[in-house]
Amino acid sequence: MTADVAVQVRGVRKAFGATVALDGVDLTVQSGELFGLVGPDGGGKTTLFRILTTLLLPDTGSATVLGLDTVRDLWPLRARIGYMPGRFALYADLTVAENLEFFASVFGTTAEAGRALIAPIYDQIARFADRRAGALSGGMKQKLALSCALVHRPDILFLDEPTTGVDAVSRREFWDLLDTLRAGGLTTVVSTPYMDEASRCDRVALMQGGRLLAIDHPAQLGARYPRPLYAVTTAWRIEALAALRAMPTVASALPFGERLHVSDRRVDRAPAEIAAALAASLRAAGFTDAIVAPIAPDIEDTFIELMGAPPRAVA
């Protein structure tokens, strides 16, 4: 493994009885990257995280983190990893300060020694130093958990859906903190079900059913979408959705917030021409207020498309 590679996964498979959680995963994360794993519950993200943090053994395949094998070198590797699991795993009956000191002591250091790294995070919760962790708000709990994961100054950070269940403002603040850590050179691997968070990563791996569907820069994932895409706006979204799905030229029609995203099979015609044809078909079906406009596919459009496609090699 070269010096600029922080994580390397080769052919990792993990099953729990008849359930295959990971099915031949290959993955490389570069040093200094903010790398995202994106997928639904049951996609295999947490299982992969637990293997990379030495908490699970793969059935087959291998994984190295910071050049250390996750099976053979687990003890020296654990000292260099920061890990924040998906569920709040701190001690609810200890105060904020006591949690920090406890996790620092586990790694043979002190909270004060790690203060420089966690200062941008801890400064936001310092006024609650004497409050029990269980009494914090969701956003503050996440910041405390992140501080505890960083207090020993790790060389790589793993965050498993760190913002699930917190409000939108706290999610945005949390990701601003990750940007700060990235600017400092810390390699971070984070999983998320949120596409807006995925767009803030350097690279993203789309994951479903234990397989990686695609790995690329967020801006490039939309370019993988295979057909023209259009946004449809109408007051009768549900009825229009059914009408669009019945049209022979429509490849897919899905609700996206207040709009419908519609892909068309007519790839040989100009986007403006197809948009006009779709609008005319909708008006003929009684949706006289329908507005159709070409749009650029994003990560979510590509992910949904890949989820419905046959398995193929990841590029």
* Distance from C-alpha of 132 to C-alpha of 163, rounded to nearest angstrom: 20
Claim to verify: residue 155 and residue 76 sit in the same structural domain: yes
Give kind and range of the element (H or E) at residue 304: helix 299-307
* Distance from C-alpha of 49 to C-alpha of 214, rounded to nearest angstrom: 18
Claim to verify: residue 260 and residue 126 sit in the same structural domain: no
* Distance from C-alpha of 131 to C-alpha of 144, rounded to nearest angstrom: 11
* Distance from C-alpha of 305 to C-alpha of 284, rounded to nearest angstrom: 28
Claim to verify: residue 56 and residue 126 sit in the same structural domain: yes
Claim to verify: residue 190 and residue 149 sit in the same structural domain: yes
Residue 165: what residue type? G
pLDDT score for 309: 52
Claim to verify: residue 26 and residue 162 sit in the same structural domain: yes
| Beta strand 34-38 pairing with 19-30 | unpaired
Total domains, the chain? 2
Q: 304 in a domain, yes or no?
A: no
Claim to verify: residue 129 and residue 240 sit in the same structural domain: no
* Distance from C-alpha of 15 to C-alpha of 33, rounded to nearest angstrom: 29
pLDDT band at 3 (very low <50, low <70, confident <90, very high): low
- What average pLDDT does range 61-74 have in this prediction? 96
Has residue 311 got a pLDDT over 60? no
Claim to verify: residue 271 and residue 213 sit in the same structural domain: no
pLDDT score for 110: 85
Q: Residue 238: which CATH number?
A: 3.30.70.100
Q: 311 in a domain, yes or no?
A: no
Which of 159-168, 200-209, 244-253 is least confident?
A: 159-168
pLDDT score for 308: 73
- How many alpha carbons lie under 13 Å from residue 153 in its C-beta half-sphere? 12
Q: 209 in a domain, yes or no?
A: yes
Mean pLDDT of the chain: 91
Q: 130 in a domain, yes or no?
A: yes
Does residue 248 sit in helix, strand or coil?
coil
In this predicted model, what pLDDT tens digit does every residue of 94-126 receive, in sequence order?
999 999 999 989 888 888 877 788 888 888 888
Residue 184 Cα distances to 31, 33, 64, 77, 117, angstroms: 12, 11, 23, 21, 9
Has residue 128 got a pLDDT over 80? yes
Claim to verify: residue 42 and residue 188 sit in the same structural domain: yes
pLDDT score for 233: 96
- How many alpha carbons lie under 13 Å from residue 261 in its C-beta half-sphere? 17
Q: 315 in a domain, yes or no?
A: no
pLDDT score for 312: 45
Domain boundary among 221, 253, 274: 221
Claim to verify: residue 233 and residue 204 sit in the same structural domain: no
Q: Residue 109: which CATH number?
A: 3.40.50.300
Q: 313 in a domain, yes or no?
A: no
Claim to verify: residue 231 and residue 204 sit in the same structural domain: no
Q: 290 in a domain, yes or no?
A: yes
Q: 154 in a domain, yes or no?
A: yes
CB atoms within 10 A of CB 315: 7
Share of the chain above pLDDT 90, in %: 70
Does residue 69 sit in helix, strand or coil?
strand
The total number of residues written for the chain in this structure: 315
Handedness of CA 262, 264, 269, 274 (dihedral sign): negative
pLDDT score for 41: 86
DSSP 149-170: HHTT--SEEEEESTTTTS-HHH
* Distance from C-alpha of 194 to C-alpha of 241, rounded to nearest angstrom: 24
- What average pLDDT does range 173-188 have in this prediction? 92
Range of the structural domain that residue 33 is part of = 5-221
Claim to verify: residue 32 and residue 132 sit in the same structural domain: yes
Domain boundary among 187, 221, 255: 221
Domain boundary among 165, 198, 221: 221
In this predicted model, what pLDDT tens digit does every residue of 37-46 receive, in sequence order?
998 888 899 9
Q: Which phi and psi (to 5°) does residue 288 adopt?
A: -70, -15
Which of 52-61, 71-80, 106-115, 225-234 is least confident?
A: 106-115
pLDDT band at 310 (very low <50, low <70, confident <90, very high): very low
- What average pLDDT does range 144-172 have in this prediction? 90
Claim to verify: residue 145 and residue 238 sit in the same structural domain: no
